[in-house]
Protein backbone atom coordinates (compact mmCIF):
# COMPACT_ATOMS: atom_id res chain seq x y z
CA UNK A 1 0.00 0.00 0.00
CA UNK A 2 1.21 3.50 -0.87
CA UNK A 3 0.55 6.95 0.53
CA UNK A 4 -0.97 8.92 -2.34
CA UNK A 5 0.36 12.28 -1.16
CA UNK A 6 3.94 11.29 -0.45
CA UNK A 7 4.31 8.26 -2.72
CA UNK A 8 5.81 6.32 0.19
CA UNK A 9 5.25 2.61 0.75
CA UNK A 10 3.20 2.25 3.94
CA UNK A 11 2.33 -1.42 4.16
CA UNK A 12 2.84 -4.76 2.43
CA UNK A 13 0.13 -7.44 2.49
CA UNK A 14 1.86 -10.79 2.83
CA UNK A 15 0.17 -14.18 2.58
CA UNK A 16 -0.28 -15.22 -1.03
CA UNK A 17 2.19 -17.87 -2.16
CA UNK A 18 1.99 -16.92 -5.83
CA UNK A 19 1.34 -13.90 -8.03
CA UNK A 20 -1.50 -11.58 -6.99
CA UNK A 21 -3.80 -11.09 -9.98
CA UNK A 22 -6.19 -8.40 -8.76
CA UNK A 23 -7.14 -6.18 -5.81
CA UNK A 24 -10.47 -4.60 -4.90
CA UNK A 25 -11.31 -2.07 -2.18
CA UNK A 26 -14.59 -2.36 -0.31
CA UNK A 27 -16.63 0.86 -0.61
CA UNK A 28 -16.30 1.55 3.13
CA UNK A 29 -12.51 1.51 2.74
CA UNK A 30 -12.00 -0.98 5.58
CA UNK A 31 -11.26 -4.16 3.61
CA UNK A 32 -9.17 -5.09 0.59
CA UNK A 33 -9.96 -8.18 -1.47
CA UNK A 34 -7.14 -9.95 -3.31
CA UNK A 35 -7.05 -12.93 -5.67
CA UNK A 36 -4.04 -14.96 -6.70
CA UNK A 37 -2.41 -17.71 -8.65
CA UNK A 38 -2.22 -19.75 -5.44
CA UNK A 39 -5.95 -20.46 -5.79
CA UNK A 40 -7.07 -18.25 -2.92
CA UNK A 41 -9.08 -15.09 -2.39
CA UNK A 42 -8.13 -13.14 0.71
CA UNK A 43 -9.57 -10.21 2.63
CA UNK A 44 -7.23 -7.81 4.41
CA UNK A 45 -7.74 -5.12 7.04
CA UNK A 46 -6.90 -1.92 5.17
CA UNK A 47 -5.73 -0.16 8.34
CA UNK A 48 -3.48 -2.79 9.88
CA UNK A 49 -2.67 -4.92 6.84
CA UNK A 50 -3.66 -8.06 8.75
CA UNK A 51 -5.28 -10.92 6.88
CA UNK A 52 -8.93 -11.19 7.91
CA UNK A 53 -9.79 -14.39 6.07
CA UNK A 54 -8.71 -16.56 3.15
CA UNK A 55 -10.72 -18.84 0.92
CA UNK A 56 -9.86 -21.56 -1.58
CA UNK A 57 -12.37 -20.10 -3.98
CA UNK A 58 -12.12 -22.24 -7.11
CA UNK A 59 -11.11 -25.73 -6.01
CA UNK A 60 -7.50 -24.63 -5.89
CA UNK A 61 -7.37 -23.30 -9.45
CA UNK A 62 -5.87 -19.81 -9.93
CA UNK A 63 -8.30 -16.98 -9.16
CA UNK A 64 -8.33 -14.56 -12.09
CA UNK A 65 -10.70 -11.81 -11.00
CA UNK A 66 -12.33 -10.51 -7.82
CA UNK A 67 -14.47 -7.48 -7.00
CA UNK A 68 -16.66 -6.24 -4.16
CA UNK A 69 -20.17 -5.13 -5.06
CA UNK A 70 -20.79 -1.37 -4.67
CA UNK A 71 -22.19 -1.80 -1.14
CA UNK A 72 -19.45 -4.17 -0.03
CA UNK A 73 -21.86 -6.84 1.15
CA UNK A 74 -20.88 -9.45 -1.41
CA UNK A 75 -18.07 -10.11 -3.86
CA UNK A 76 -17.49 -12.15 -6.99
CA UNK A 77 -14.50 -14.20 -8.09
CA UNK A 78 -13.56 -15.89 -11.35
CA UNK A 79 -11.17 -18.79 -11.71
CA UNK A 80 -9.40 -21.14 -14.05
CA UNK A 81 -12.04 -23.74 -13.24
CA UNK A 82 -14.29 -21.81 -15.66
CA UNK A 83 -16.65 -20.44 -13.03
CA UNK A 84 -17.75 -17.12 -11.58
CA UNK A 85 -18.78 -17.38 -7.95
CA UNK A 86 -20.78 -14.91 -5.88
CA UNK A 87 -19.96 -14.80 -2.16
CA UNK A 88 -21.40 -13.26 0.99
CA UNK A 89 -18.66 -10.99 2.36
CA UNK A 90 -19.66 -11.57 6.00
CA UNK A 91 -20.06 -15.35 6.01
CA UNK A 92 -18.13 -16.30 2.85
CA UNK A 93 -21.06 -18.49 1.90
CA UNK A 94 -21.33 -19.12 -1.85
CA UNK A 95 -24.53 -17.43 -3.06
CA UNK A 96 -24.48 -18.46 -6.71
CA UNK A 97 -22.21 -19.86 -9.38
CA UNK A 98 -21.95 -19.53 -13.14
CA UNK A 99 -20.17 -22.19 -15.20
CA UNK A 100 -18.95 -20.86 -18.53
CA UNK A 101 -17.15 -22.86 -21.25
CA UNK A 102 -15.60 -19.63 -22.59
CA UNK A 103 -13.52 -19.09 -19.45
CA UNK A 104 -13.96 -16.07 -17.18
CA UNK A 105 -11.33 -13.56 -16.14
CA UNK A 106 -11.53 -9.86 -15.16
CA UNK A 107 -14.74 -8.72 -13.46
CA UNK A 108 -16.38 -5.36 -12.68
CA UNK A 109 -19.72 -4.32 -11.17
CA UNK A 110 -21.97 -1.53 -12.35
CA UNK A 111 -22.63 1.22 -9.79
CA UNK A 112 -26.12 -0.13 -9.00
CA UNK A 113 -24.81 -3.59 -8.16
CA UNK A 114 -27.19 -5.22 -10.63
CA UNK A 115 -24.83 -6.22 -13.45
CA UNK A 116 -21.35 -7.65 -13.76
CA UNK A 117 -19.02 -7.25 -16.73
CA UNK A 118 -16.64 -10.16 -17.17
CA UNK A 119 -14.00 -10.85 -19.81
CA UNK A 120 -13.77 -14.29 -21.41
CA UNK A 121 -11.24 -16.48 -23.15
CA UNK A 122 -13.10 -16.01 -26.44
CA UNK A 123 -11.98 -12.46 -27.23
CA UNK A 124 -15.18 -11.09 -25.76
CA UNK A 125 -16.80 -9.74 -22.62
CA UNK A 126 -20.22 -10.50 -21.22
CA UNK A 127 -22.72 -8.51 -19.19
CA UNK A 128 -24.33 -10.81 -16.64
CA UNK A 129 -27.20 -10.14 -14.26
CA UNK A 130 -25.81 -10.24 -10.72
CA UNK A 131 -26.81 -13.28 -8.73
CA UNK A 132 -27.95 -15.20 -11.81
CA UNK A 133 -26.50 -16.83 -14.89
CA UNK A 134 -28.46 -14.63 -17.29
CA UNK A 135 -26.31 -13.10 -20.03
CA UNK A 136 -27.71 -9.66 -20.83
CA UNK A 137 -25.26 -8.73 -23.61
CA UNK A 138 -22.13 -10.03 -25.31
CA UNK A 139 -19.37 -7.63 -26.39
CA UNK A 140 -17.94 -9.72 -29.19
CA UNK A 141 -16.35 -7.50 -31.86
CA UNK A 142 -12.76 -7.96 -30.64
CA UNK A 143 -9.79 -9.11 -32.76
CA UNK A 144 -7.69 -10.04 -29.72
CA UNK A 145 -7.99 -11.08 -26.08
CA UNK A 146 -9.91 -8.69 -23.83
CA UNK A 147 -7.92 -7.84 -20.70
CA UNK A 148 -10.36 -5.72 -18.68
CA UNK A 149 -13.88 -4.32 -18.64
CA UNK A 150 -15.39 -1.42 -16.69
CA UNK A 151 -18.76 0.34 -16.56
CA UNK A 152 -19.30 4.08 -16.78
CA UNK A 153 -20.75 5.52 -13.58
CA UNK A 154 -24.25 5.77 -15.08
CA UNK A 155 -24.04 2.15 -16.21
CA UNK A 156 -24.92 2.94 -19.80
CA UNK A 157 -21.49 2.19 -21.28
CA UNK A 158 -18.69 -0.33 -20.89
CA UNK A 159 -15.04 0.16 -21.86
CA UNK A 160 -12.80 -2.82 -22.60
CA UNK A 161 -9.04 -3.00 -23.06
CA UNK A 162 -7.66 -5.32 -25.73
CA UNK A 163 -4.41 -7.08 -26.44
CA UNK A 164 -4.54 -5.52 -29.92
CA UNK A 165 -3.70 -2.13 -28.40
CA UNK A 166 -7.23 -0.73 -28.59
CA UNK A 167 -9.87 0.25 -26.06
CA UNK A 168 -13.46 -0.20 -27.17
CA UNK A 169 -16.56 1.46 -25.81
CA UNK A 170 -19.86 -0.41 -25.90
CA UNK A 171 -23.54 0.17 -25.24
CA UNK A 172 -24.05 -1.80 -22.02
CA UNK A 173 -27.68 -2.66 -22.81
CA UNK A 174 -27.37 -3.83 -26.42
CA UNK A 175 -23.70 -4.82 -26.56
CA UNK A 176 -23.23 -2.72 -29.70
CA UNK A 177 -19.83 -1.05 -30.27
CA UNK A 178 -19.86 2.72 -29.86
CA UNK A 179 -16.28 3.99 -30.18
CA UNK A 180 -12.68 2.87 -30.70
CA UNK A 181 -9.55 4.26 -29.01
CA UNK A 182 -6.41 3.02 -30.77
CA UNK A 183 -3.05 2.91 -29.04
CA UNK A 184 -0.50 1.75 -31.57
CA UNK A 185 2.54 1.30 -29.33
CA UNK A 186 1.56 -1.72 -27.23
CA UNK A 187 -1.13 -4.00 -25.91
CA UNK A 188 -3.60 -2.53 -23.41
CA UNK A 189 -3.85 -4.11 -19.99
CA UNK A 190 -6.60 -1.99 -18.47
CA UNK A 191 -9.11 0.78 -19.21
CA UNK A 192 -11.47 2.71 -16.92
CA UNK A 193 -13.81 5.70 -17.17
CA UNK A 194 -13.26 8.90 -15.24
CA UNK A 195 -16.04 9.58 -12.69
CA UNK A 196 -17.68 12.13 -14.99
CA UNK A 197 -17.52 9.81 -18.02
CA UNK A 198 -15.73 12.41 -20.13
CA UNK A 199 -12.39 10.60 -20.21
CA UNK A 200 -10.93 7.12 -20.32
CA UNK A 201 -7.64 6.09 -18.72
CA UNK A 202 -5.73 3.24 -20.37
CA UNK A 203 -2.65 1.36 -19.19
CA UNK A 204 -0.41 -0.33 -21.74
CA UNK A 205 2.27 -2.98 -21.91
CA UNK A 206 4.66 -0.34 -23.25
CA UNK A 207 4.78 1.16 -19.72
CA UNK A 208 2.54 4.12 -20.52
CA UNK A 209 -0.79 5.34 -19.23
CA UNK A 210 -2.88 7.64 -21.41
CA UNK A 211 -5.87 9.84 -20.57
CA UNK A 212 -8.25 10.06 -23.55
CA UNK A 213 -10.59 13.00 -23.97
CA UNK A 214 -14.07 11.79 -24.89
CA UNK A 215 -16.21 14.86 -25.54
CA UNK A 216 -19.07 12.76 -26.87
CA UNK A 217 -19.66 11.27 -23.42
CA UNK A 218 -20.82 14.51 -21.88
CA UNK A 219 -24.28 14.10 -23.39
CA UNK A 220 -24.76 10.56 -22.13
CA UNK A 221 -26.29 7.66 -24.04
CA UNK A 222 -28.94 9.72 -25.92
CA UNK A 223 -26.20 11.97 -27.31
CA UNK A 224 -24.15 8.93 -28.32
CA UNK A 225 -27.15 7.47 -30.14
CA UNK A 226 -27.67 10.77 -31.97
CA UNK A 227 -24.04 10.92 -33.12
CA UNK A 228 -24.07 7.29 -34.22
CA UNK A 229 -27.27 7.83 -36.19
CA UNK A 230 -25.75 10.89 -37.84
CA UNK A 231 -22.29 9.53 -38.68
CA UNK A 232 -22.17 5.73 -38.67
CA UNK A 233 -23.69 4.13 -41.82
CA UNK A 234 -24.16 0.69 -40.32
CA UNK A 235 -25.78 -1.09 -37.41
CA UNK A 236 -24.77 -4.28 -35.64
CA UNK A 237 -27.18 -7.20 -35.86
CA UNK A 238 -26.30 -10.58 -34.36
CA UNK A 239 -22.62 -9.80 -34.40
CA UNK A 240 -22.56 -8.57 -38.01
CA UNK A 241 -22.44 -5.08 -39.49
CA UNK A 242 -25.42 -4.21 -41.68
CA UNK A 243 -25.66 -1.05 -43.83
CA UNK A 244 -28.19 1.60 -42.91
CA UNK A 245 -29.09 5.07 -44.12
CA UNK A 246 -27.78 8.00 -42.15
CA UNK A 247 -30.37 10.25 -40.53
CA UNK A 248 -29.56 13.91 -41.36
CA UNK A 249 -32.10 15.10 -38.80
CA UNK A 250 -29.78 13.84 -36.05
CA UNK A 251 -26.85 15.94 -37.28
CA UNK A 252 -26.13 19.38 -35.86
CA UNK A 253 -23.24 21.77 -36.17
CA UNK A 254 -22.20 20.72 -32.69
CA UNK A 255 -21.96 17.03 -33.58
CA UNK A 256 -18.61 15.63 -32.54
CA UNK A 257 -16.50 12.89 -34.10
CA UNK A 258 -16.83 9.38 -32.72
CA UNK A 259 -13.19 9.06 -31.74
CA UNK A 260 -11.14 9.87 -28.70
CA UNK A 261 -7.87 11.77 -28.62
CA UNK A 262 -5.04 11.37 -26.17
CA UNK A 263 -4.56 14.12 -23.63
CA UNK A 264 -0.86 14.58 -23.11
Higher pLDDT, 217 or 193: 193
Q: Residue 74: its pLDDT value, please?
A: 97
In this prediction, residue 220 has a pLDDT band, given cuts at 50, 70 and 90, of low
Q: 255 Cβ partners below 8 Å, 6+ apart?
A: 226, 227, 230, 231
What are phi and psi for residue 188, nearest 5 degrees?
Answer: -95, 135
Instruction: Check whether 256 has a pLDDT greater than 70.
Output: no
Q: Residue 247: its pLDDT value, please?
A: 75
Instruction: Check whether 218 has a pLDDT greater than 80.
Output: no
What are phi and psi for residue 139, nearest 5 degrees?
Answer: -100, 95
Instruction: Check whether 3 has a pLDDT greater than 70.
Output: yes
What is the model's pTM? 0.80
| Mean pLDDT for the stretch of residues 241-258 | 61
Q: Residue 233: its pLDDT value, please?
A: 73
Q: Tell me the per-residue pLDDT of 28-86, one tens digit each, with 9 for 90 and over.
A: 999 999 999 999 999 999 999 999 999 999 999 999 999 999 999 999 999 999 999 99
Which domains, ranges and CATH numbers included, belong to the chain? 20-219 (2.130.10.10)
Measured between alpha carbons, how far is 21 from 39 in angstroms, rounded to an integer? Answer: 10
Q: Output the average pLDDT for the chain.
A: 87
Q: Residue 245: its pLDDT value, please?
A: 79
Amino acid sequence: MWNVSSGRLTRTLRGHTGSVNVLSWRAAGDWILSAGQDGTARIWDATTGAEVRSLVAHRGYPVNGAAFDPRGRTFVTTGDDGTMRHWDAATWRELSRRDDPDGLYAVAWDSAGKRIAVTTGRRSAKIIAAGTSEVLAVLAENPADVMSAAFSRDGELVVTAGFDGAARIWDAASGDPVALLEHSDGDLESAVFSPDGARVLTASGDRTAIVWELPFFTGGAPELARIVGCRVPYRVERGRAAPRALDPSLCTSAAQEMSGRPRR
